Amino acid sequence: MATLPTPDLRIPQSSTTVNVSIIDTTTSIRGVDAWKFLEPSIPGHEHLATSAFAFLIEHPTLHRSMVFDLGLRKDWWNCSPFLLDRFKKGGYVLNVDKSVREILEDVGFDATKLEAIVWSHWHFDHTGSPAEFERSTALIVGPGFKENLLPAYPTNPDSSILESDLQGRQLIELSFTSGLKSGEMDALDYFGDGSLCFLNSPGHAHAHICALARVKADPPSFIMMGGDAWHHCGEIRPSPYMPLPETIKPHPFTSLSASSCPGDLFEPVLRDDDRTKPIYRPSSQKIVQMHLDPEQAVRTIEKLQQADVQENILMVAAHDESLLSIVDFFPKTANDFMSRGWVKAARWKFLMDFAKAVRN
C-alpha cells in the first residue's frame, strides 16, 4: 500500500490551553493473555503488560480540574462479585500501591476541588473508586452508558459497576451531536474554548471516549488520552500514514538514544508483510470476547492513526508501558513533550516487545 500524506485534522485554532499530567496509578495486573485482545499471536509476546495511566487535567484560567480515568481501585477485593469471579477464573495477579486520590494528595493537590472524574469506559482497570471522592465531583461517561450499563450492582448482580460509586453523584453522559469533528472523530469541546475535546471512540466497549488536550498554543501541541482505544501500539502502528521506516532510531531494544537498527529487522512480525499495516488488530475471537465490536474498534483505530502521525500530538494509551522510561509523571506536567522529544523517542519503542520473535 502506498504511503498516504499526513492528514489535516482541522482542529479549530485556540490560544487557550490546559495543563496535563500523566499519572502512574501504580496499578499492576499480571497474567493478561495477549491473544484475548490482539491478533495474530506473536511468539514471545504472550502477555500484555498492564500498568494503567490516568491524567490530571487543569484549566489554569478557569481554575477547573478533572481526572481522566482512575486505574484499578486500591481495594480491588471490594469489586462486585461478578468481577471477583472473573479475576479468579482469569488467574490475574492484581496490585495497587496507592489510589489516585492518595497520589494527588501526597504532593498537596486538593482533590476536593475536582469538578469531575472522566471514565474513558467502564472497565475495572479504569474506573477506580469514585466513592473516594466528594459527591460534588461529577462522573462523566460516554454515550450509551446509561442505556447499556445501568443499573449497577447490587440491583444488577451481574454488573461490574458499583452503585456506591454513583450514589449521590451527578452522572453526566456526553452527547456527540453538535457536528464538531477532530479529524474524522466526533468531538465535544468541553470548556468551550478549544482547550479540551472529548472524542467518541466506539468499538472496544460501550461508552468509550478519548480526550484531546491542547497543552501549547504556539506552536500548538496536544496530548491524546486514548483509554483502551488501542491496548498496544502495535494496533496503531505502522499505518498508511507512517510505514515502518527503513531505519529505526532510537533502537527499541536499548536505552541509548543515539542507537539505531534497520526496519527490516521487524519484517517477521509484519502483518501480511505490509509495512503500512499495524502489526496487530483487535482480536475477533469469541472464546473470551474482550472487544464489544472488533470491526468498529478497527475503524476507531484508523481514525486515530490520523492523529498518531502528527509530530505535535503525544499519544498515550492507558496501558502503554513503553512510555515508562520516556515521559515524566505527576506531579510534573507533560506539556513540554515536544521540546523533550517524547514523540520521537516513543514512536517505535513498542517494538521492544518483539525482541524474541525477530531474534528467532
Q: What CA–CA distances, in Å, run from 143 to 94, 97, 167, 294?
A: 29, 32, 20, 18
Residue 72 CA to residue 91 CA, distance in Å, equals 16
Side-chain-facing half-sphere of 45: CA atoms under 13 Å? 25
What is residue 315's predicted lDDT score, i.e. its pLDDT?
A: 99
Under the phi-then-psi rule, with left for phi > 0, alpha for psi from -120 to 50, and beta for the rest, what region is 272? left
* Mean pLDDT confidence for 294-319: 98
- In degrees and rounded to multiples of 5, residue 261 shows phi and psi of -150, 160
pLDDT tier at 257, thresholds 50, 70, 90: low
pLDDT at position 360 over 80: no
Q: Does the pLDDT of residue 1 top 70, yes or no?
A: no
Q: Are 128 and 99 in contact (CB under 8 A)?
A: yes
210: number of Cβ within 10 Å: 30
What pLDDT band is residue 359 in, cutting at 50, 70 and 90? confident
At 190, the pLDDT band (50, 70, 90 cuts) reads very high
Neighbours of 6 (CB within 10 A): 12
pLDDT of residue 49: 76
Q: How far apart are CA 227 and CA 184, in angstroms?
A: 18
Cα 181 to Cα 183: distance, rounded to the nearest angstrom: 6
DSSP character string of 325-350: TTS--TTS--TTHHHHTHHHHHTTGG
The Cα–Cα gap between 163 and 60 comes to 33
Does the pLDDT value for residue 333 go beyond 70? Answer: yes
Least Cα distance to 129 among 91, 80, 178 occurs for 80
Which pTM was predicted? 0.96
234 backbone dihedrals φ, ψ, rounded to 5°: -70, -10
Query: Topology of 19-359 in CATH?
Result: Metallo-beta-lactamase; Chain A (3.60.15)
DSSP collapsed to 3 states, 94-118:
EEECCCHHHHHHCCCCCHHHCCEEE
- Encoded amino acid at 117, one letter: I
For the chain, the structural domain boundaries read 19-359
Mean pLDDT of the 345-358 span: 96
Q: How confident is the model at residue 256 (pLDDT cuts 50, 70, 90)?
A: low
Contact 153, 83 (CB under 8 A): no
| Residue 272, pLDDT above cutoff 90 | yes
Listed in sequence order, the residues at least 6 apart from 89 whose beta carbon sits closer than 8 Å to its beta carbon are none
Instruction: Give the rounded percent of residues in the chain with a pLDDT score beyond 70.
Output: 98
Q: Which of 72, 51, 32, 277 is nearest to 160 (CA)?
A: 72
